[in-house]
Amino acid sequence: MSQLTIAECEHLRSEAQEMRVSAIRTRIAAAITFCDVAESQARWYPPAHARASLERIWHSIGELQQHIDDPRHVAPNIATNLRQNLESVRTRATGLGLVIGTQRASSR
């Protein structure tokens, strides 16, 4: 087996980070979609449906926050933008909670 060069290792690290960032962005987009679903459920279905969706949204927010805060997953300069995107989801989830009567602390 041949060993990787330093340049090859750096390239692989860079690619891995790009993939992690892409996955995080995709999950943030999915959380936004779940917010849309929860809003529709709040309008057209019993509140339990919207509450269940909102719990999934909060679960995703928590997991995403852990990944974004881990410097091994995301570089600090990229994490700032991801935090802003996640904060918009958190704000929207908090508003949804008020609409459907489920309050949850938006702790970080």
The model's pLDDT over 35-82, given as tens digits with 9 standing for 90+, comes to 999 999 999 999 999 999 999 999 999 999 999 999 888 999 999 999
Whether 1 is in a domain gets the answer no
* Average pLDDT for 23-33: 97
Q: Is 93 exposed, middle or buried (0-12, 13-18, 19+ CB in 10 A)?
A: buried
Q: Which domain holds residue 23?
A: 6-100
Residue 105 confidence (pLDDT): 46
Whether 108 is in a domain gets the answer no
Give the pTM.
0.85
Contact call for residues 51 and 83 (beta carbons, < 8 A) = no
**Could you give the number of structural domains in the chain?**
1
pLDDT surpassing 70 at residue 8? yes
Residue 85 confidence (pLDDT): 97
Whether 34 is in a domain gets the answer yes
Residue 89, CA distances (Å) to 9, 36, 46, 65, 75 in order: 35, 11, 23, 11, 21
Residue 108 confidence (pLDDT): 45
Across the chain, where does the E strand assignment appear?
A: none
